[in-house]
């Protein structure tokens, strides 16, 4: 992987530019990733040669578009080791996927007095749908806490997940703390009590091999744009028996089998959930992104990112007045690193880094309960991906040191 880095960077033309007269270092990958030429070319090819609506036409363009669209579903199923393409629903992304579970499975199965268990580190997309479901159904929402290093408190999880628990929904990887949560152990615990396990894979699917059958999760949500694909496309994995039992929540064309004046019936999986014209180009683009990632190997992507974390985290921890959140041990930390510089608002820090050409994110990262838990209003966040290298890590460290010196001298 390391030997291929120079070649990989050339696959991403956007990285070859200057920002504020400095060479761009893009470290906002947890928010969205850049797109390789192969993905953009796949989109171009579809629109220039095959653009047509899927499933409905018998003409050549419609057949080619349908074949590419469904091939992308097959690729997505194989990518996370789903048993079949019937397990894969195309959605707008992780947010819509989690909302679908809450609005369909949750609405059908949660009643007053039931309990839903999540954690303090959840993204709003994996918090607000459950919060609102609990409010509608008069259920109880419970939160698993964390150890001082940001790892999930599994002893508390065992106390909170009981026979009253109906849904457990946890991020596979935190978008702030950079920890990998033990989803397989949580799934076993949930199933022991008759609950289902939902995994938020937004920050895991792009960065490490994921096997939904081995994890034994009941549902798993992820986004295309965080794994080199287009925005507006993502996936929801669900166990077939659960998906078959769930009612669709959107109705219209494409998802119907038969429509009469006063009743209708639905298509089989996975199409019964996909009302209207889908994001055809988005699915094809996500399929191209999967091809790109598989050509490299997710195990190699994970090793490369871990090498960067092993290199950069000790350098960040050595900066006086810089607080790094999450594990301080690089072996327990993914490429998502949140931090604050004492006396400086993270927005000011991010602006200062941008003046050095280093793009990071600043804010609450759609995790306001976690910010409250950490007793901070916001953090800065650098997030690495396969096209980043040790030089990018050094540029981040140098930019933070420069910002610290700049503000220390009162130059505002």
| Catalytic site positions | 366
Residues near 270 by beta carbon (within 8 Å), at least 6 away in sequence = 73, 85, 86, 87, 88, 89, 90, 243
What does DSSP assign to residue 28?
B
What does DSSP assign to residue 37?
H
User: Residue written as tokens 């009941």?
Assistant: 218
Q: What would the DSSP string read from start to end of 139-199?
A: -EEEEE-B-TTS-B-HHHHHHH--TTEEEEEEESB-TTT-PBP-HHHHHHHHHHTT-EEEE
Distances in whole angstroms, Cα of residue 28 to Cα of each of 57, 150, 246: 41, 21, 36
> Collapsing DSSP states into helix, strand and coil, what is residue 338?
strand
CB 233 within 8 A of CB 224: yes
49-88 exposure pattern, b = at least 16 Cβ within 10 A, e = fewer? ebebbbbeeeeeebebbbebbbebbebbbebbebeebbbb
CB 232 within 8 A of CB 91: no
User: What angle do helix axes 390-408 and 346-355 make, rounded to 10 degrees?
Assistant: 120
Cα distance between residue 237 and residue 80, in whole Å: 9
Q: How many CB atoms lie within 10 A of CB 258?
A: 9
| Strand duo 18-19 + 22-23: pairing | antiparallel
Q: How many CB atoms lie within 10 A of CB 143?
A: 16
């Amino acid at each position: 992987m390391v030997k291929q880095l120079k070649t990989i960077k050339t696959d991403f033309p956007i990285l070859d530019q200057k920002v504020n007269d400095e060479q761009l270092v893009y470290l906002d990958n947890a928010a969205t990733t850049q797109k390789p030429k192969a993905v953009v070319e796949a989109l171009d090819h579809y629109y220039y040669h095959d653009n047509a609506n899927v499933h409905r036409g018998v003409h050549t363009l419609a057949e080619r578009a349908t074949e590419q669209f469904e091939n992308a579903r097959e690729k997505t199923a194989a990518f996370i080791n789903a048993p079949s393409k019937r397990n894969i629903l195309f959605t707008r992304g992780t947010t819509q996927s989690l909302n679908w579970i809450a609005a369909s499975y949750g609405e059908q199965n949660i009643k007053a007095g039931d309990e839903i268990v999540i954690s303090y580190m959840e993204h709003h997309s994996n918090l607000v749908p459950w919060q609102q479901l609990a409010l509608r159904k008069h259920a109880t929402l419970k939160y698993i806490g964390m150890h001082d290093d940001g790892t999930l408190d599994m002893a508390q999880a065992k106390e909170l997940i009981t026979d009253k628990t109906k849904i457990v929904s946890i991020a596979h990887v935190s978008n702030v703390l950079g920890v990998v949560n033990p989803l397989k152990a949580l799934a076993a615990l949930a199933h022991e009590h008759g609950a289902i396990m939902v995994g938020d894979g937004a920050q895991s699917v792009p960065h490490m091999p994921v096997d939904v059958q081995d994890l034994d999760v009941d549902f798993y949500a992820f986004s295309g744009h965080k794994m080199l694909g287009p925005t507006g496309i993502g996936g929801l994995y669900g166990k077939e028996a659960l998906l078959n039992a769930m009612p669709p929540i959107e109705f219209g064309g494409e998802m119907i089998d038969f429509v009469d004046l006063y009743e209708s019936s639905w298509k089989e999986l996975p199409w019964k959930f996909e009302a209207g014209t889908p994001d055809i180009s988005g699915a094809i683009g996500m399929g191209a992104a999967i091809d790109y990632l598989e050509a490299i190997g997710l195990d190699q992507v994970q090793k490369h990112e871990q090498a960067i974390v092993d290199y950069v985290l000790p350098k960040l921890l050595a900066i006086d007045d810089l607080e790094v959140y999450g594990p301080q041990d690089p072996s327990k930390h993914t490429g998502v690193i949140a931090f604050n510089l004492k006396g400086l608002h993270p927005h000011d820090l991010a602006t200062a880094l941008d003046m050095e050409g280093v793009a990071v994110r600043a804010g609450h990262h759609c995790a306001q309960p976690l910010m409250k838990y950490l007793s901070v209003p916001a953090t800065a966040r650098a997030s690495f991906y396969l096209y980043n290298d040790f030089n990018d890590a050094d540029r981040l460290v140098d930019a933070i040191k420069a910002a610290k010196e700049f503000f220390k001298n009162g130059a505002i």
